Amino acid sequence: MSVLFGTVKAYGYAEVEQSVTTDVQPSVAISKTVSQETGSINPTTGTNTGLNASFKIQTNGTDENYDFIVGSTILTTDGEVSAYGQNGCLLFGNTVSLPTKSAIENAKTGGNNNSNVIAYPVTMSITNPMSVDFTSSATYGECWSVKVNNSQEGTLSQTIGQNPVNNTYSIGQDEAGAYRATVTFTAVSK
């Protein structure tokens, strides 16, 4: 048996390299910039004093990343429903004597049996090359759909027309009081 005592010299070499990788996620910011959200209705004609709202949208995402949706709600005796009617007009409902869902449907289809519901036309505009169109989808229902078309910043402007949609204002059917509709511009991740 033999024992060998000795030392072994070892030499090493280490190389350190750092690669920085940032995974930037698509992001979006929507904010209301200016608006006129209150007004009055002339009881003899049904015309209103004018309402509008503008929303600023900034995003590094695309139409493949987000659905950009302008939705609306109106409160009925059966809960909230979409406040958009034909051609994207906006329905307003009495906040005390709530309209029925059937009155809402009647107003949306151009009928004249729609107590406590008044509809006004809506005009939408948006900064080029973005686009906005009224549509109805399985996911969002009746809504205005915005396409950013690879643009990163723009302004969506909504103007409520002053004259009521035909057959939706009646001094005998529509009670005095406050009428309300809520509009929300949302970016939904896909």
Q: Which residues bind another protein (CB under 8 A)?
A: 14-32, 35, 37-44, 48-49, 51, 53, 55, 58-61, 66, 90, 92, 94-97, 115, 118, 158, 160, 170-189
In degrees rounded to 5, what are phi and psi of residue 144? Answer: -95, 130
Nearer to another protein, 26 or 110 (CB): 26
Nearer to another protein, 41 or 108 (CB): 41
Among 67, 32, 77, CA closest to 186: 67
Q: Closest distance between another protein and the C-beta of residue 86, in Å?
A: 18
* CA distances for 138 relative to 112, 126, 141, 142, 189, angstroms: 28, 24, 6, 9, 16
The neighbour count for residue 54, using CB atoms within 10 Å, is 17
What residues form DSSP beta bridges with 79?
76
Q: Closest distance between another protein and the C-beta of residue 97, in Å?
A: 6
Nearer to another protein, 135 or 157 (CB): 157
Nearer to another protein, 7 or 31 (CB): 31
50 touches 38 (CB < 8 A): no
Q: Closest distance between another protein and the C-beta of residue 5, in Å?
A: 31
In angstroms, rounded to a whole number, what is the distance separating the alpha carbons of residues 91 and 112? Answer: 14
Q: Closest distance between another protein and the C-beta of residue 1, in Å?
A: 39
Nearer to another protein, 7 or 21 (CB): 21
Q: Closest distance between another protein and the C-beta of residue 69, in Å?
A: 9
In angstroms, rounded to a whole number, what is the distance separating the alpha carbons of residues 143 and 31? Answer: 18
122 touches 143 (CB < 8 A): no
Q: Closest distance between another protein and the C-beta of residue 44, in Å?
A: 7
In degrees rounded to 5, what are phi and psi of residue 94? Answer: -60, 130
Nearer to another protein, 149 or 178 (CB): 178
In angstroms, rounded to a whole number, what is the distance separating the alpha carbons of residues 160 and 96? Answer: 22
